[in-house]
């Protein structure tokens, strides 16, 4: 009769594996860390995440939402500024600035009732998440940068329209291509004039 097969060492970590030979049956329990309380030693998953763990997208957190909104609004505001729609670019840039600053300086969610207050006040904004807030902080800072560029493009466009108002009025009132070309005489003979002048 062949010998009984010995348990494979690769199944030692399998919670569904049969107990070793000679050990009495016992109720099943999940196997965790050295203290038997689970893989993280019974620690709160939020605490583990706040100590450098991966930051997961939480749509219920207003700070994280504003960081993502700042990135999206700033990016689209920059695109609208490049495409020659300064009004939309200015609006999205202003919103991105507001969302980015509020996400960086926002206050964390208040503690649940019944918990003991901390001896020192908790940090505000994304700093409350510790190292886990790096992706959200990057999104907020990127939103601030693109928002600044969008506002700069919009203000430059409005400044050019104000400085060369006669040219823009002439171009808008022109009914023919030759009339539009005549409006080029209202522009200065420099780089700005070469960029704004009507092409044939």
pLDDT in tens, 58-79: 667 788 888 889 999 999 999 9
Residue 147 near residue 96, CB atoms below 8 Å:
yes
Angle subtended at Cα 16 by Cα 15 and Cα 17, rounded to the nearest 5 degrees: 95
Higher model confidence: residue 13 or residue 154? 154
Query: Residue 41: what pLDDT?
Result: 47
Could you tell me how far CA 44 lies from the centroid of its own chain? 25
Query: Residue 50: what pLDDT?
Result: 44
For range 33-50, the mean pLDDT: 47
Higher model confidence: residue 11 or residue 103? 103
Q: d(Cα 152, Cα 97) in Å, to the nearest integer?
A: 12
Q: Which of 171, 163, 170, 153 is nearest to 190 (CA)?
A: 163
Q: What is the pLDDT of residues 154-171, one digit of tens each?
A: 999 898 888 888 888 888
**What predicted TM-score, i.e. pTM, was given to this entire model?**
0.57
Mean pLDDT of the chain: 74
Query: Residue 142: what pLDDT?
Result: 92
Residue 148 near residue 157, CB atoms below 8 Å:
no
Lowest mean pLDDT among 8-17, 34-43, 65-74, 100-109: 34-43
């Amino acid at each position: 009769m062949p010998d009984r097969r010995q348990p494979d060492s690769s199944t030692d970590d399998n919670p569904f594996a049969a107990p070793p030979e000679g050990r009495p049956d016992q109720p099943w329990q999940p196997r965790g860390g050295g203290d038997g309380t689970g893989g993280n030693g019974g620690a709160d998953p939020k605490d583990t995440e706040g100590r450098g763990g991966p930051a997961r997208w939480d749509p219920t957190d207003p700070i994280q939402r504003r960081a993502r909104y700042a990135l999206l609004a700033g990016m689209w505001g920059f695109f609208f500024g490049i495409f020659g729609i300064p009004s939309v670019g200015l609006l999205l840039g202003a919103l991105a600035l507001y969302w980015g600053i509020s996400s960086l300086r926002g206050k964390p969610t208040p503690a649940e009732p019944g918990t003991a207050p901390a001896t020192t006040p908790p940090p505000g904004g994304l700093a409350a998440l510790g190292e886990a807030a790096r992706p959200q902080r990057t999104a907020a800072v990127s939103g601030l940068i693109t928002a600044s560029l969008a506002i700069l493009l919009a203000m430059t466009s409005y400044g050019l329209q104000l400085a060369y108002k006669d040219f823009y009025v002439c171009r808008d009132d022109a009914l023919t291509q030759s009339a539009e070309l005549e409006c080029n005489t209202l522009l200065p003979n420099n780089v700005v004039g070469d960029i704004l002048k009507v092409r044939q």
